[in-house]
Structure 1
Amino acid sequence: MTEEAADFETAIAECGFGLFNVFILCSAAPCLTAMVFSASALSYVMPSAECDLDLSIVDKGMLHAVTYAGMIISAVPWGFIADTIGRRPVLISGGWLDGIFVLCASFSQNTAQLMAFKFFDGFIICGPFAVVVSYLAEFHGKKHRPYIMLFVGLCVSAGSMIIPLLAYVLLPVPIFFKVATLEFRTWQIFLAVSSVPSLLTGLLHIFLPESPKFLMAQGNYKKALESLQRIYQLNKRKSKDSYPVKRLIDPTPERSADLDGTGRSLTLKERFERAKNKFLGGVSQLKPMFSRPYLAISLLVYCLHFCQIMCVNSVRLWLPQIFATMNAMESMGANDTSMCAVLDHNAMARFMDEDSKRVECALNHDPDSYLDNIIVSGIGLVGFIIIFPLLRIRVVADHILKVFLFICIFLVGSLYFVKTSLVTMIVSAIYLTLMGICATTIIGMSVVIFPTLMRTMVLLLIMTFGRLGSVCGNLVLPIFMQLNCLAPFLWLCSLMTFAFLFSLFLKVDDQQSLS
């Protein structure tokens, strides 16, 4: 029996792994899926929505960008709220709020309404997505924690597969009805269905306790112990009283000095005061980031991630539109279905006569136009499964980023020369898979490069720069599309070249100890 005081790792290990852990993983899966849906849903509804909302190519770019703009603005506030109020309230309120905003987006009758609600969708979902990873990690001990990150990656990949499958099943179904003055079509029903993961997130986390690690950090040892006893009871099928740990301690001296050990719950004012002090302390700890050697390295990583995410999301978010247009052109008997012809067709779509518009809008509901997206997602999932075991080989881990970025320069450039949807699908699938691996590799490198006190803030900044790249890419790309066919491909190749050059200066020993 461990009747003496135990730290968190000892206490959570006593709980084992069982029914509670399965439930918390099942509750986290919708949250991780909701993030993918928020970022990608508009890509699939765009071919249908453009007919109803009369979208220009610039409108489409802005609609892709606004969700990421919301994520950028809310990243730091959500982190502060989660560290002050708790993980569970963020997951519950964030899930419900995001679901409501996605439902509001499905009620949109014009471009401005859709844009506003998708902005708030991105603003809200950023919180639960960031918190759910910490929440999962704080309910698992050292033994199972590495598998949690694998589960997170698997859920995100599964979400990327589910959304094109949902589009394949739902979007080809002709739906139209009116409620008072509001008109509802298939793409709005699709958006409404995409709110389900967010609403499930809010619902399922009502039945889960607050993170015991967070409660300990707040000095509320009594509630932390109750939370751990509940986990023990479900996992071991024994009474709470038989839980061997009777008292919790925090082994961190500087934190223990702040706690009175009485189990008294901190007031909200005290929590905000502590969170403010923690934030100011964290800012002061970031001073090394602005000195050698971390300043040069961090700037390299930010610029590299900015360029690669700008490039990859410029392709990924426009791909469903490109496939739908190719399918429509082939069905109408067009002789030229090259990428240039597709881009010209999209740029001139607003100036088509009503009959031609009606015919093309009907063709955009063809199920075949979504098959290519499903295959691209499937190839990406298989690619991750194949490549990740190879990262254990030292020579692969050392050079994979540089090699893949170099290959991707030619892959994104070769899209200019493709003539059929089949070749477009193959090239795009390989490109997006390699770029996804590069993005993950950068995150993994950053964990090793930067010391513990800088690591969380650096990772937050890396993701923020990536999202900023997504916003810039989707605002700038339509402008290049309107210039001429070659311009967007030269732009994307230039971005990839910059990313490759930045990678040449990154030298990381991934076997070194964490500092």
Structure 2
Amino acid sequence: MADRVRDNADEAADFETAIAECGFGLFNVFILCSAVPCLTAMVFSASALSYVMPSAECDLDLSIVDKGMLHAVTYAGMIISAVPWGFIADTIGRRPVLISGGWLDGFFVLCASFSQDTAQLMAFKFFDGFIICGPFAVVVSYLAEFHGKKHRPYIMLFVGLCVSIGSMILPLLAYALMPVPIFFKVATLEFRTWQVFLAVSAVPSLLSGFLHIFLPESPKFLMSQGNYKKALDSFQRIYKLNKRKSKESYPVKRLIDSTPDRSADLDGTGRSSTIKERFSRVKKKFMEGVLQLKPMFSKPYLAISLQVYCLHFCQIMCVNSVRLWLPQIFATMNAMESLGANDTSMCAVLEHNAMAVSMNEDDKRVECALHHDPRSYLDNITVAGIGLVGFLIIFPLMRIRLVSNHILKVFLFICIFLVGSLYFVKTSLMTMILSAIYLTLMGICATTIIGMSVVIFPTLMRTMVLLLIMTFGRLGSVSGNLLLPIFMQLSCLAPFLWLCSLMCIAFLFSVFLKVDDQQSLS
């Protein structure tokens, strides 16, 4: 196809042909580097409180239910904002969401670092989740729409790799910063180490908003809007940077897609629009956006999307029920070992956390001091490191069709036994090893689901569907973090039976899900 385009400059090219002509080079490296802060920001938003909690519980006097609420509130914000962000991204564009979302999220994370009580922290973390939801889902579509079939499966794994890197940076940052005793006052506001830690975690969001200023709009999105003139300009910019040639030498001169060419209408006539014309344009765009959602409720997309939603709900409920509580568990294990406890099994840790509320003030002060011990973060760093190595190993294997077709169901099946095994472990070392393997395999499963979804659904539905998939995952996170403290208070066995049951349901959904992740984008 590429040779035919060169032979006949007037022949119209589709997206896959046009993007293949751009090659892979400096532009792709820059867009991937720009995506790293955005993906890292999502990890920071979702997980920063996990590292803050052992310290903040002493300053804010948090109960086990308060901790569950704080974990859940960020995801609640993400759930509420999913549909509005999806509509904006699929009608206005990917780039505006990435720029404005990055700046706004950084602002709310900084506000969270100024929190003086539990209510303020909950409120700002809610808005943090509300904003970061959009850029995270959009960046996945954005990356896919700048790469052809040859590189797209790798791009989806790159997303997983970035999430693993973010998960590695966060405990390293906690290890370096949290043990440092920081306390200062500004007027009536008091600031401690955990608040400084939260302020530093705003950097990736602000950097993401800044870097995307220098990138163009997705050419696939522009083509789906009928704006072929701007789409061709985007392709030419990519070609110029990658091939080190002039824009004019780009072999594709005309683009074709299912949407009629509306370049002239979208460019405007050059005169200023009246308020009535602007309102009419917004109303038309809204109606177009509503019509774009219609195919989501018809064959073949409805049945596939429901499968994916339910699968993601179960697996994310399981993975975040373990992941978000892990720093607290490791901090408690470290404190128990330092206090001379012989039994550091999961049951002993859960019982210790349940009894923490009834401790006297002296015992609380001793345990809070132990939570600042740098050793309590080493297990978290090891878990994140194993996750990163896992992605690096699986990264090249995903090009093998047999692996990509079966990896989801195989890993979910293994994870049923891994999460159940946590009930039987007696030492912190075994807890760390099993948790690391479990979280690594589940992280790969979550990335695989998102990668599949990118190619299943067409451009005008893609971001909305990705947001809905993530919304179901976040519903799982909220449910998990509200239910887990209740199960913990019932008995030690209850949370593990519950997690194993959810893993079995997720595995059954994966058995019936069949997708070719190397098909063309529609």
* 3-state SS in 2 of match to 1:348: helix
Offset, 1:464: 1.8
Q: Is the 8 A contact 2:83 2:464 kept in 1?
A: no
Q: Is 1:252 equivalent to 2:257 in the alignment?
A: yes
Higher relative contact order, structure no. (Cα contacts within 8 Å, ≥ 6 residues apart): 2
Letter in 1 for 2:185: K
Q: Is 1:384 equivalent to 2:391 in the alignment?
A: yes
Give the fraction of aligned pairs with identical amino acids, expressed as a percent. Answer: 81
Q: Is 1:264 equivalent to 2:277 in the alignment?
A: no
Change (3 A) 1:349 1:214: same
Output the CA distance in 2 between the equivalents of 1:19 and 1:449: 28
Change (3 A) 1:213 1:284: closer
**Alignment partner of 2:191 out of 181, 184, 187:** 184
CA distances 1:56-111 after superposition (whole Å, capped 9, x unpaired) = 10111111111111111111111211233332222221111100000001111111
Offset, 1:321: 0.4
Aligned to 1:276: 286
Bigger shift: 315-324 or 7-16?
A: 7-16
Give structure 2 stretches of 5+ with no counterpart: 1-5
Aligned to 1:197: 204
Offset, 1:283: 3.1
**Alignment partner of 2:487 out of 461, 480, 486:** 480
Q: Is the 8 A contact 1:220 1:264 kept in 2?
A: no
Offset, 1:170: 1.0
Letter in 2 for 1:33: T
Offset, 1:16: 4.6
**Alignment partner of 1:104 out of 111, 114, 118:** 111
Offset, 1:485: 1.9
Q: Is the 8 A contact 1:219 1:263 kept in 2?
A: no
Q: Is the 8 A contact 1:286 1:453 kept in 2?
A: no
Offset, 1:52: 0.6
Q: Is 1:55 equivalent to 2:30 in the alignment?
A: no
Aligned to 1:84: 91
Aligned to 1:366: 373
**Alignment partner of 1:31 out of 38, 60, 71:** 38
* 3-state SS in 1 of match to 2:505: helix
* 3-state SS in 2 of match to 1:497: helix
CA distances 1:372-427 after superposition (whole Å, capped 9, x unpaired) = 11111111222233345455566655554444333323322222222211011011
Q: Is the 8 A contact 1:135 1:211 kept in 2?
A: yes
Bigger shift: 479-488 or 223-232?
A: 223-232
Letter in 2 for 1:157: S
Change (3 A) 1:269 1:225: farther
Output the CA distance in 2 between the equivalents of 1:247 and 1:81: 30
Change (3 A) 1:287 1:98: closer
Bigger shift: 54-63 or 335-344?
A: 335-344
Bigger shift: 463-472 or 490-499?
A: 490-499
* TM-score (ref. length: structure 2): 0.87
Letter in 2 for 1:337: T
Change (3 A) 1:438 1:221: closer
Correspondence list, 1:12-411, <5 A: 12=19, 15-221=22-228, 223-224=230-231, 226-237=233-244, 242-244=248-250, 248-249=254-255, 251-256=256-261, 258=262, 260=264, 263-264=267-268, 269=279, 272-289=282-299, 298-390=305-397, 399-411=406-418
**Alignment partner of 2:435 out of 399, 417, 428:** 428
Q: Is 1:493 equivalent to 2:500 in the alignment?
A: yes
Output the CA distance in 2 between the equivalents of 1:16 and 1:415: 47
Aligned residues: 508
Output the CA distance in 2 between the equivalents of 1:451 and 1:208: 23
* 3-state SS in 2 of match to 1:478: helix
Bigger shift: 21-30 or 177-186?
A: 21-30
CA distances 1:473-507 after superposition (whole Å, capped 9, x unpaired) = 00010111122222222222222233334445x16
Letter in 2 for 1:276: F
Offset, 1:28: 1.8
Change (3 A) 1:236 1:186: same
Q: Is 1:508 equivalent to 2:514 in the alignment?
A: yes
Output the CA distance in 2 between the equivalents of 1:271 and 1:140: 31
Output the CA distance in 2 between the equivalents of 1:132 and 1:243: 29
Output the CA distance in 2 between the equivalents of 1:131 and 1:397: 23
Offset, 1:127: 1.2
* 3-state SS in 2 of match to 1:417: coil
The Cα RMSD (Å) is 3.2
Output the CA distance in 2 between the equivalents of 1:24 and 1:90: 15
Bigger shift: 365-374 or 126-135?
A: 126-135
Q: Is the 8 A contact 1:12 1:141 kept in 2?
A: yes
Output the CA distance in 2 between the equivalents of 1:231 and 1:383: 32
Q: Is the 8 A contact 2:90 2:464 kept in 1?
A: no
Offset, 1:338: 1.6
Aligned to 2:3: none
Offset, 1:236: 4.8
CA distances 1:441-484 after superposition (whole Å, capped 9, x unpaired) = 44455567778887665544332211111110000101111222
* 3-state SS in 2 of match to 1:183: strand
Change (3 A) 1:255 1:231: same
Q: Is the 8 A contact 1:405 1:438 kept in 2?
A: yes
Q: Is the 8 A contact 2:451 2:517 kept in 1?
A: no
Output the CA distance in 2 between the equivalents of 1:511 and 1:113: 43
Output the CA distance in 2 between the equivalents of 1:482 and 1:44: 22
* 3-state SS in 2 of match to 1:286: helix
CA distances 1:267-304 after superposition (whole Å, capped 9, x unpaired) = 75465344333333233323435xxx876655444333
Output the CA distance in 2 between the equivalents of 1:4 and 1:296: 41
Change (3 A) 1:387 1:239: closer
* 3-state SS in 1 of match to 2:185: strand
Change (3 A) 1:261 1:3: farther
